[in-house]
Structure 1
Amino acid sequence: MTAKSYIFHLADEAATLALAALFSPYLRQGAVLYLQGDLGAGKTTFSRGLLQAMGHQGNVKSPTYTLVEPYSICDQQVFHFDLYRLRDPEELEFMGIRDYFSKGNLCLIEWPERGYGLLAEADLELQLQIEQNQRQLRVTANQSQAVVWMDAIDLQWNQAQ
Protein backbone atom coordinates (compact mmCIF):
# COMPACT_ATOMS: atom_id res chain seq x y z
CA MET A 1 0.00 0.00 0.00
CA THR A 2 1.25 3.45 -0.86
CA ALA A 3 1.05 6.04 1.89
CA LYS A 4 -1.29 8.98 1.29
CA SER A 5 -0.77 12.49 2.70
CA TYR A 6 -3.20 15.22 3.69
CA ILE A 7 -2.48 18.85 4.59
CA PHE A 8 -4.49 20.98 7.01
CA HIS A 9 -3.96 24.67 7.80
CA LEU A 10 -4.72 25.54 11.41
CA ALA A 11 -5.25 29.22 12.18
CA ASP A 12 -5.09 28.86 15.96
CA GLU A 13 -5.31 26.53 18.95
CA ALA A 14 -9.08 26.24 18.57
CA ALA A 15 -8.62 24.94 15.01
CA THR A 16 -6.06 22.39 16.23
CA LEU A 17 -8.48 21.16 18.90
CA ALA A 18 -11.36 21.02 16.40
CA LEU A 19 -9.37 18.99 13.90
CA ALA A 20 -8.14 16.62 16.62
CA ALA A 21 -11.75 16.03 17.68
CA LEU A 22 -12.57 14.79 14.15
CA PHE A 23 -10.06 11.94 14.63
CA SER A 24 -11.83 10.65 17.75
CA PRO A 25 -14.45 8.29 16.28
CA TYR A 26 -11.94 6.65 13.94
CA LEU A 27 -9.40 5.75 16.62
CA ARG A 28 -11.70 3.88 18.99
CA GLN A 29 -10.42 0.52 17.76
CA GLY A 30 -6.82 1.49 18.47
CA ALA A 31 -3.99 2.90 16.39
CA VAL A 32 -0.45 4.21 16.60
CA LEU A 33 0.05 7.92 15.87
CA TYR A 34 3.43 9.58 15.55
CA LEU A 35 3.37 13.29 16.38
CA GLN A 36 6.35 15.17 15.01
CA GLY A 37 7.35 18.81 15.03
CA ASP A 38 9.50 21.33 16.82
CA LEU A 39 8.94 22.38 20.41
CA GLY A 40 5.73 24.42 20.60
CA ALA A 41 4.40 23.17 17.25
CA GLY A 42 1.18 21.83 18.80
CA LYS A 43 1.77 18.11 19.39
CA THR A 44 0.44 18.13 22.95
CA THR A 45 -2.39 20.47 21.99
CA PHE A 46 -3.48 18.01 19.31
CA SER A 47 -3.24 15.13 21.82
CA ARG A 48 -5.32 17.08 24.35
CA GLY A 49 -8.02 17.80 21.76
CA LEU A 50 -8.18 14.15 20.75
CA LEU A 51 -8.31 12.82 24.32
CA GLN A 52 -10.98 15.30 25.37
CA ALA A 53 -13.07 14.49 22.29
CA MET A 54 -12.82 10.82 23.23
CA GLY A 55 -14.29 11.64 26.64
CA HIS A 56 -11.35 12.36 28.96
CA GLN A 57 -12.50 14.85 31.59
CA GLY A 58 -9.26 15.90 33.30
CA ASN A 59 -6.13 17.73 32.32
CA VAL A 60 -3.89 16.41 29.59
CA LYS A 61 -0.29 17.15 30.39
CA SER A 62 2.77 16.45 28.34
CA PRO A 63 4.49 13.30 29.65
CA THR A 64 7.91 14.86 29.11
CA TYR A 65 9.32 13.65 32.44
CA THR A 66 7.33 10.43 32.88
CA LEU A 67 7.69 9.32 29.22
CA VAL A 68 4.11 7.99 29.22
CA GLU A 69 0.74 9.03 30.62
CA PRO A 70 -1.95 6.34 30.60
CA TYR A 71 -5.65 7.09 30.15
CA SER A 72 -8.63 4.78 30.35
CA ILE A 73 -11.46 6.23 28.28
CA CYS A 74 -14.67 4.26 27.80
CA ASP A 75 -12.85 0.96 28.33
CA GLN A 76 -10.13 1.87 25.83
CA GLN A 77 -6.53 2.21 26.89
CA VAL A 78 -4.77 5.29 25.56
CA PHE A 79 -1.07 5.91 26.07
CA HIS A 80 0.43 9.32 25.45
CA PHE A 81 4.21 9.16 25.06
CA ASP A 82 6.69 12.02 24.94
CA LEU A 83 10.15 10.75 24.09
CA TYR A 84 11.85 14.16 23.99
CA ARG A 85 13.99 13.46 27.07
CA LEU A 86 14.77 9.87 26.14
CA ARG A 87 18.55 9.42 26.28
CA ASP A 88 18.73 6.00 24.63
CA PRO A 89 16.01 4.03 22.79
CA GLU A 90 16.98 0.97 24.84
CA GLU A 91 15.30 2.65 27.83
CA LEU A 92 12.02 1.79 26.12
CA GLU A 93 12.81 -1.91 26.40
CA PHE A 94 13.16 -1.57 30.17
CA MET A 95 9.70 -0.03 30.43
CA GLY A 96 8.12 -2.82 28.35
CA ILE A 97 7.33 -0.65 25.34
CA ARG A 98 6.04 -3.52 23.20
CA ASP A 99 3.25 -4.24 25.71
CA TYR A 100 1.71 -0.82 25.06
CA PHE A 101 1.06 -1.68 21.42
CA SER A 102 -1.57 -4.33 22.17
CA LYS A 103 -4.51 -4.55 19.80
CA GLY A 104 -7.16 -1.99 20.67
CA ASN A 105 -4.79 0.42 22.45
CA LEU A 106 -4.34 3.93 21.12
CA CYS A 107 -0.74 5.15 21.31
CA LEU A 108 0.11 8.81 20.73
CA ILE A 109 3.87 9.20 20.42
CA GLU A 110 5.56 12.59 20.47
CA TRP A 111 9.18 12.62 19.25
CA PRO A 112 8.99 9.07 17.79
CA GLU A 113 12.37 9.45 16.09
CA ARG A 114 13.98 9.10 19.54
CA GLY A 115 12.59 5.59 19.87
CA TYR A 116 13.58 4.45 16.41
CA GLY A 117 13.69 0.69 16.02
CA LEU A 118 11.63 -0.11 19.11
CA LEU A 119 8.25 1.43 18.30
CA ALA A 120 5.36 -0.12 16.42
CA GLU A 121 4.85 1.26 12.93
CA ALA A 122 2.59 4.28 12.75
CA ASP A 123 -0.87 4.06 11.26
CA LEU A 124 -0.79 7.85 11.02
CA GLU A 125 2.18 10.21 11.05
CA LEU A 126 1.35 13.79 11.98
CA GLN A 127 3.91 16.46 11.18
CA LEU A 128 3.15 19.86 12.71
CA GLN A 129 5.02 23.00 11.78
CA ILE A 130 4.55 26.71 12.22
CA GLU A 131 4.42 28.79 9.06
CA GLN A 132 3.68 32.52 9.01
CA ASN A 133 1.67 32.70 12.28
CA GLN A 134 -0.33 29.55 11.63
CA ARG A 135 0.26 25.85 11.92
CA GLN A 136 0.32 23.36 9.13
CA LEU A 137 -0.43 19.73 9.82
CA ARG A 138 0.63 17.10 7.31
CA VAL A 139 -0.91 13.70 8.03
CA THR A 140 0.45 10.62 6.31
CA ALA A 141 -1.78 7.55 6.39
CA ASN A 142 0.40 4.44 6.19
CA GLN A 143 -2.28 1.72 6.31
CA SER A 144 -5.30 1.25 4.05
CA GLN A 145 -7.69 1.61 7.01
CA ALA A 146 -5.96 4.85 7.96
CA VAL A 147 -6.54 6.18 4.43
CA VAL A 148 -10.27 5.50 4.86
CA TRP A 149 -10.22 7.41 8.17
CA MET A 150 -8.30 10.33 6.69
CA ASP A 151 -10.51 10.59 3.61
CA ALA A 152 -13.51 10.96 5.95
CA ILE A 153 -11.71 13.45 8.25
CA ASP A 154 -10.51 15.49 5.26
CA LEU A 155 -14.05 15.67 3.88
CA GLN A 156 -15.52 16.72 7.25
CA TRP A 157 -12.81 19.35 7.75
CA ASN A 158 -13.29 20.84 4.29
CA GLN A 159 -17.09 20.97 4.71
CA ALA A 160 -16.67 22.81 8.02
CA GLN A 161 -14.29 25.41 6.61
Structure 2
Amino acid sequence: MDLTAPIESHSVEETIKTGYEFGKKLKPGDVVCLEGDLGAGKTHFIKGVASYFGIDPESVSSPTYTLIHEYSGELPVYHFDCYRLKSEQEALEIGAEEYFYGEGVCLVEWPGIIDSLIPDEAIWIKISHLSDSKRTISIHQKQQG
Protein backbone atom coordinates (compact mmCIF):
# COMPACT_ATOMS: atom_id res chain seq x y z
CA MET A 1 0.00 0.00 0.00
CA ASP A 2 1.42 3.39 -1.05
CA LEU A 3 0.93 5.72 1.89
CA THR A 4 2.43 8.76 0.13
CA ALA A 5 -0.50 9.19 -2.29
CA PRO A 6 -4.05 9.90 -1.07
CA ILE A 7 -5.85 6.66 -0.22
CA GLU A 8 -9.50 6.09 -0.98
CA SER A 9 -11.44 4.06 1.57
CA HIS A 10 -14.83 2.62 0.72
CA SER A 11 -15.73 1.23 4.15
CA VAL A 12 -15.00 1.30 7.87
CA GLU A 13 -13.02 -1.92 7.40
CA GLU A 14 -10.82 -0.33 4.72
CA THR A 15 -10.17 2.70 6.95
CA ILE A 16 -9.14 0.37 9.79
CA LYS A 17 -6.90 -1.61 7.41
CA THR A 18 -5.26 1.63 6.20
CA GLY A 19 -4.57 2.55 9.85
CA TYR A 20 -3.01 -0.89 10.40
CA GLU A 21 -0.71 -0.47 7.37
CA PHE A 22 0.22 3.03 8.54
CA GLY A 23 1.00 1.66 12.02
CA LYS A 24 3.79 -0.46 10.51
CA LYS A 25 5.72 2.75 9.78
CA LEU A 26 5.47 4.21 13.29
CA LYS A 27 8.20 4.16 15.90
CA PRO A 28 8.52 5.27 19.55
CA GLY A 29 8.10 9.01 19.92
CA ASP A 30 6.01 9.51 16.77
CA VAL A 31 3.16 12.02 16.99
CA VAL A 32 0.35 11.67 14.48
CA CYS A 33 -2.24 14.44 14.08
CA LEU A 34 -5.61 13.50 12.58
CA GLU A 35 -7.82 16.11 10.98
CA GLY A 36 -11.33 15.65 9.62
CA ASP A 37 -14.93 16.48 10.31
CA LEU A 38 -16.94 14.73 13.02
CA GLY A 39 -17.64 11.21 11.80
CA ALA A 40 -14.92 11.29 9.13
CA GLY A 41 -13.29 8.10 10.43
CA LYS A 42 -10.42 9.33 12.61
CA THR A 43 -11.17 6.88 15.42
CA HIS A 44 -11.56 3.97 12.96
CA PHE A 45 -8.13 4.81 11.53
CA ILE A 46 -6.74 4.84 15.09
CA LYS A 47 -8.34 1.40 15.73
CA GLY A 48 -6.23 0.12 12.83
CA VAL A 49 -3.02 1.68 14.17
CA ALA A 50 -3.71 0.24 17.63
CA SER A 51 -4.37 -3.23 16.19
CA TYR A 52 -0.94 -3.21 14.55
CA PHE A 53 0.56 -2.83 18.04
CA GLY A 54 -1.46 -5.79 19.36
CA ILE A 55 -4.25 -3.74 20.93
CA ASP A 56 -7.81 -5.03 20.52
CA PRO A 57 -9.48 -2.52 18.17
CA GLU A 58 -12.77 -3.05 20.02
CA SER A 59 -11.15 -1.49 23.11
CA VAL A 60 -10.40 1.72 21.19
CA SER A 61 -12.93 4.51 21.49
CA SER A 62 -12.83 8.27 21.18
CA PRO A 63 -11.61 9.85 24.43
CA THR A 64 -13.88 12.88 23.95
CA TYR A 65 -14.77 13.14 27.63
CA THR A 66 -11.49 11.98 29.17
CA LEU A 67 -9.16 13.73 26.67
CA ILE A 68 -6.73 10.80 26.51
CA HIS A 69 -6.86 7.03 26.45
CA GLU A 70 -3.73 4.99 27.10
CA TYR A 71 -3.42 1.57 25.47
CA SER A 72 -0.73 -0.98 26.28
CA GLY A 73 0.59 -2.92 23.31
CA GLU A 74 3.97 -3.68 21.74
CA LEU A 75 4.39 0.10 22.07
CA PRO A 76 2.23 2.30 24.29
CA VAL A 77 -0.41 4.10 22.23
CA TYR A 78 -1.80 7.40 23.50
CA HIS A 79 -5.04 8.56 21.88
CA PHE A 80 -5.86 12.23 22.44
CA ASP A 81 -9.11 13.98 21.54
CA CYS A 82 -8.68 17.74 21.88
CA TYR A 83 -12.20 18.60 20.65
CA ARG A 84 -13.44 19.76 24.05
CA LEU A 85 -10.27 21.57 25.14
CA LYS A 86 -10.73 25.28 25.60
CA SER A 87 -7.02 26.14 25.67
CA GLU A 88 -3.53 24.75 25.23
CA GLN A 89 -3.11 25.21 28.98
CA GLU A 90 -5.57 22.37 29.59
CA ALA A 91 -3.40 20.08 27.44
CA LEU A 92 -0.31 21.11 29.39
CA GLU A 93 -2.12 20.31 32.65
CA ILE A 94 -2.72 16.69 31.54
CA GLY A 95 0.95 16.37 30.56
CA ALA A 96 0.56 16.39 26.77
CA GLU A 97 4.18 17.39 26.18
CA GLU A 98 5.44 14.46 28.29
CA TYR A 99 3.45 12.11 26.07
CA PHE A 100 4.64 13.82 22.85
CA TYR A 101 8.29 13.40 23.79
CA GLY A 102 7.93 9.96 25.39
CA GLU A 103 8.46 6.40 24.20
CA GLY A 104 4.97 5.71 22.91
CA VAL A 105 3.02 6.66 19.80
CA CYS A 106 0.67 9.64 20.17
CA LEU A 107 -2.44 9.91 18.01
CA VAL A 108 -4.11 13.31 18.28
CA GLU A 109 -7.61 14.12 17.06
CA TRP A 110 -8.44 17.82 16.64
CA PRO A 111 -4.77 18.91 16.90
CA GLY A 112 -5.41 22.50 15.77
CA ILE A 113 -6.60 23.36 19.27
CA ILE A 114 -3.11 22.66 20.68
CA ASP A 115 -1.17 23.59 17.55
CA SER A 116 1.83 25.22 19.22
CA LEU A 117 2.41 22.13 21.40
CA ILE A 118 2.62 19.73 18.43
CA PRO A 119 6.22 18.74 17.58
CA ASP A 120 7.48 20.02 14.21
CA GLU A 121 8.19 16.48 13.01
CA ALA A 122 4.60 15.32 13.59
CA ILE A 123 2.85 13.39 10.84
CA TRP A 124 -0.45 14.91 9.69
CA ILE A 125 -3.38 12.90 8.35
CA LYS A 126 -6.47 14.43 6.82
CA ILE A 127 -9.56 12.27 6.40
CA SER A 128 -12.21 13.75 4.11
CA HIS A 129 -15.79 12.61 3.47
CA LEU A 130 -16.49 11.87 -0.20
CA SER A 131 -19.85 10.16 0.47
CA ASP A 132 -21.57 8.16 3.23
CA SER A 133 -19.06 5.30 3.00
CA LYS A 134 -16.22 6.79 0.92
CA ARG A 135 -13.27 8.70 2.40
CA THR A 136 -9.95 10.09 1.21
CA ILE A 137 -7.01 9.68 3.59
CA SER A 138 -4.02 11.96 2.97
CA ILE A 139 -0.77 11.58 4.94
CA HIS A 140 1.87 14.32 5.01
CA GLN A 141 4.71 15.62 7.17
CA LYS A 142 3.70 19.24 7.64
CA GLN A 143 0.33 20.76 8.31
CA GLN A 144 -1.16 22.07 5.09
CA GLY A 145 -2.28 25.65 5.37
Distance in 1 separating the partners of 2:128 and 2:92: 30
Distance in 1 separating the partners of 2:117 and 2:102: 17
Structure 2 counterpart of 1:12:
11
Structure 1 counterpart of 2:76:
77
Deviation at 1:120, TM superposition (A): 2.1
Distance in 2 separating the partners of 1:79 and 1:122: 17
Deviation at 1:112, TM superposition (A): 0.1
1:88-138: CA deviation from partner (whole Å, max 9, x where unpaired): 111111112111023432000000001121222353110001113410111
Structure with more of its chain in strand, by fraction: 1
How large is the Cα RMSD of the aligned pairs? 1.8
Q: What TM-score, normalized to structure 1?
A: 0.78
Q: What TM-score, normalized to structure 2?
A: 0.86
Q: Quickly say closer, same or farther: Cα 1:135–1:122, change in 2 above 3 A.
A: farther
Structure with more of its chain in helix, by fraction: 1
Q: Percent identity?
A: 32
Structure 1 counterpart of 2:38:
39
Whether the 8 Å contact between 1:6 and 1:140 is mirrored in structure 2 is: no
Distance in 2 separating the partners of 1:52 and 1:135: 20
Whether the 8 Å contact between 1:10 and 1:136 is mirrored in structure 2 is: yes
Structure 1 counterpart of 2:135:
135
Q: Quickly say closer, same or farther: Cα 1:125–1:62, change in 2 above 3 A.
A: same
- Structure 1 alignment gaps of length 5 or more: 143-161
| Greater C-alpha radius of gyration | 1
Q: What is the one-letter code of the residue matched to 1:59?
A: S
Q: What is the one-letter code of the residue matched to 1:71?
A: Y
Q: What is the one-letter code of the residue matched to 2:14?
A: A
- Structure 2 alignment gaps of length 5 or more: none
Deviation at 1:25, TM superposition (A): 2.1
